[in-house]
Chains A and B, each alone.
Chain A
């Protein structure tokens, strides 16, 4: 079932999107309590990138053999490899026992750096971006938000997801949003099921794309990454996806300055849209939008096969 939500403040305006997205996703908890994920877009700092990564799954922390020692070792390995490729870490933060947030300066080949880091056993890069911060973990929106201190995050736009696992395991690896590796600042959330997942996955893998999970939603992120790789515009790629990807889906994509939505031709999955002069809010159910706008607002359902993109 899953619940997805997105918001964007137009004209470069910024707001406490951390709190807003937490409220929206909490209102959608009944659509999926397994895990919650946030992709928040803040103000970019000149020349500095944000790296979000985890070195273990949440479940492993209580069951894994010698896991606490391994976590320390894995993090040390990340530090060593960052240094080895010439990345300069300017700030370090430990979000949870197993998830970290680094600020770093790097001018080399980003894909090579990420591949090198993920080569370490148990390490997964959640996101890299100048503006993007991707946070996902087990639990509902309030739990994850408090654990990672999301409230008070100021930015221009965000997407989020509450997951009811249908196609793959309940773990952080299979939780949304997905980052469109290895491209800066691109993230995807999806509600639905994709039926030509394996055909498309094999095709994309042959072209050198990475898949970290068996979750069908990851395909959309990889598909968008592939389109960007080939120099395609976001909106064009999304329009093409309506006919290329088979199944029932509504998905949201965010880049450093854009928010897009796409709905399949059957219009099988819900999406409610609210648009005013300064704000656009999207969610699987209107209650989510109402959680940040308690007053009466005009909303509507986008139609089948519709693609819309807004700029921050």
Chain B
């Protein structure tokens, strides 16, 4: 068990909150590295694997927790067989590998885990992820990365409809095409789509950025094309290189989309600081 940390230590009572956000960058030094007070001390060199073919969903998730508790920092789950809700709510630094496909709600609510999935994921993968990485080798279902707030979510195949709906931070990268209503009500963060986008892309988005390398069926309300700057290109190259991906027609031909802010009719704006960390 980690040392006990109070909410004061976590900075929850100060105006300037501590933690990982998209805009604020921290050094990786131990004292600034936010971890949960109940997080397990794990060693990434200590690895374990188990077969999930005949296990129930709750037993698989408990087994992952038991292994983290006993200090395993690299965990491999074989034969998940598209079961639902696997790897949910992992608030720990851990390398988690799934050899196979996940069903609905896979790896939701993750914070800090590095997850690899060799198969496909169903609806609502990595929903509300806070930090960490989730990399999927094959296709993803609808609602991919709904409401994520941080981290990198990568799908090397194609994804379904409503990718990154309500996204509030982080980066979503899809190697193939995405369906209708992608980026609906997006509020912050970045989305990189290397294939084609379906109808109503970025509908009613408040903020954030969508990059599309392929064709766009149609744009949603208040989603506008904007200039791709050198900074964008450097960012895109860096991100895509990191996951061994590339824009099919080169980074220069990527379309950048943001909110036109024509729907902004607020009496008063939410304090940015609070919105960032929430």
Contact = CB atoms under 8 A, between A and B. Distances in A.
B122 interface: yes
Contacts of B141: 270, 272, 301
Interface string A255-292: 00000000001110010100000000000011101100
A265 B180 contact: yes
Contacts of B162: 267
B141 to A, nearest CB: 5
Contact of A304 (B81, B122, B161): B161
A287 B177 CA distance: 24
A96 interface: no
Contacts of B81: 287, 290, 294
Given A265-B180, A267-B179, A272-B141, A296 B100 contact: yes
Contact of B179 (A272, A285, A296, A304): A304
A46 interface: no
A264 to B, nearest CB: 10
Nearest to A286: B82
A290 B198 contact: no
Nearest to B178: A303
B160 A303 contact: yes
A198 interface: no
A299 B120 contact: yes
B101 A304 contact: no
Interface of A is mostly: loop
Size bracket, chain B contacts: 20 to 34
A285 B160 CA distance: 13
Given A270-B142, A286-B120, A301 B82 contact: no
Contacts of A294: 53, 81
Interface of B is mostly: loop
Size bracket, chain A contacts: 10 to 19
B180 A304 contact: yes
A298 interface: yes
Given A270-B141, A303-B160, A303-B180, A285 B103 contact: yes
Contacts of A272: 122, 141
A266 B160 contact: no
A303 B179 contact: yes
Interface in B131-187: 138-139, 141-142, 157-158, 160-162, 177, 179-181
Contacts of A211: none
A212 to B, nearest CB: 33
B197 to A, nearest CB: 11
Interface string B75-94: 00000011110000000000
A14 B141 CA distance: 30
B101 A301 contact: no
Contact of B157 (A286, A289, A300): A300
B137 to A, nearest CB: 11
Contacts of B158: 300
Most B C-beta atoms less than 10 A away, residue of A272, A289, A294, A301: A301
Contacts of A304: 161, 179-180, 198-199
Given A267-B179, A301-B179, A304-B199, A285 B122 contact: yes
A303 B198 contact: yes
A304 B158 CA distance: 14
B211 interface: no
Contacts of A285: 82, 84, 103-104, 122
A267 B142 contact: yes
Contacts of A265: 180, 199
Nearest to A306: B179
B199 to A, nearest CB: 7
Interface string B34-60: 000000000000000000010000000
A248 to B, nearest CB: 12
Interface string A11-48: 00000000000000000000000000000000000000
B123 interface: yes
Nearest to A267: B161
B251 to A, nearest CB: 26
Nearest to B179: A303
A290 B100 CA distance: 11
Nearest to A299: B120
B119 interface: yes
A266 B138 contact: no
A296 B198 contact: no
A308 to B, nearest CB: 15
A256 to B, nearest CB: 31
A265 B157 CA distance: 22
A298 B157 CA distance: 10
A267 B180 CA distance: 7
B119 A296 contact: yes
Contacts of B161: 266-267, 301, 303-304
Given A265-B199, A299-B139, A303-B198, 19 more contacts: A266-B180, A266-B181, A267-B160, A267-B161, A267-B180, A267-B181, A272-B141, A285-B104, A289-B82, A290-B82, A296-B100, A298-B138, A298-B139, A301-B141, A301-B161, A303-B177, A303-B180, A304-B179, A304-B198
Interface of A: 265-267, 270, 272, 285-287, 289-290, 294, 296, 298-301, 303-304
- Which 6 pairs, one residue from A and one from B, show the smallest C-beta to C-beta distance? A267-B161, A286-B82, A301-B160, A304-B180, A300-B139, A303-B179
10 contacts: A265-B199, A267-B160, A286-B120, A287-B83, A298-B138, A300-B120, A300-B157, A300-B158, A304-B179, A304-B198
